[in-house]
Structure formats: structure tokens, C-alpha cells
Amino acid sequence: MSDKTAVLFANEAFYVAFLSGDYDAMESLWAHNAPVSCIHPGWHHLMGRDVVMESWQSLLQNAEIPDMNYSNAVASVYGDTAVVICYETFPEALLVATNVFVREEADWKLVHHQSGGSSEMPDLELGDDSLGTLQ
């Protein structure tokens, strides 16, 4: 599997964990060695693995599973770091998300997630970066 495909797979695993409310899966996707951060929509920035994971635990335990689709994931790999840009579509909002991954041992792990409002979905020519659903 290419690095780009592996990163897109890890990105999709993030959304599968989020949309299924699976905290254990979410926790396993985040880096253990590298510093992590997260900016949930409308929140201030969160720094440090413990704080970030507490936020996900709170969101996944106390919130309804959102009616959301994610799409148009495009990955760029820079050695042992990768960035995925994708869109999160909710009934009431369109968000653009940035997910940053680092390679820890043989796995791609999240070090940063941020999503915020977007005015419209771009008309992207995704070519080889568009792999459809991987999981």
C-alpha cells in the first residue's frame, strides 16, 4: 500500500470512529509520541494528548452521533508527515477539515485535527487522490 493510500485509510478510520462513537478506536488513531492538538468547530485550540483525548471522550459519550458525511479527501505526504484536507457535510453546515498525520513506527497517527466553516464545496478534479471508501 502506498503512503498516500495508507494516510487516506487512517483518515477514513478517524471518521468511522467519530461517526460510530467509538472512543477506543478514536484513541488508538492519535499519536502517542508526537505532540497533538485539536481545534473543534467553535472551540479554542487544545494542546496535549490528554486534553485532546478528554475532548473526544466528552464529545463521543455526551453527544448524539452527528448526521455527517465526509468527502473529497486529498492527501499530501511529506516524508513521515502527511496532511489530509477533506469536507464534512452536515445538514446545517459545510466544514472543511485538516487532519495532520505522522508516522509512528509503521502506522500513520493523527497529530492535529481542525475543522471550520466553508462557504461551498469546491469542484475538485481528484484524479489518483480520490480512492472512494476504503473501509
Q: Which helix (H) or strand (E) covers residue 87, if one does?
A: strand 81-90
31-87 pLDDT tens trace: 999 999 999 988 899 999 999 999 999 999 876 777 899 999 999 999 999 999 999
Task: Reply yes or no on whether the pLDDT at 18 is more than 50.
Answer: yes
Task: Reply yes or no on whether the pLDDT at 127 is more than 70.
Answer: no
- Count of domains forming the chain: 1
Parent domain of 29: 3-119
Q: Across residues 116-125, what is the average pLDDT?
A: 77
- Of 54 and 118, the structure prediction assigns the larger pLDDT to 54
- Give per-residue burial for 106-132: e unless 16+ CB within 10 Å, then b: eebbbbbbbbeeeeeeeeeeeeebeee
Percentage of the chain modeled with pLDDT above 70: 90
Please check whether residue 60 lies inside any domain of the structure: yes
Residue 26 belongs to domain with CATH number = 3.10.450.50
Q: Across residues 112-117, what is the average pLDDT?
A: 94
Q: Is the distance from CB of 95 to CB of 88 less than 8 angstroms? A: yes
Percentage of the chain modeled with pLDDT above 90: 74
pLDDT of residue 63: 67
| pTM given for the model | 0.87
Please check whether residue 125 lies inside any domain of the structure: no
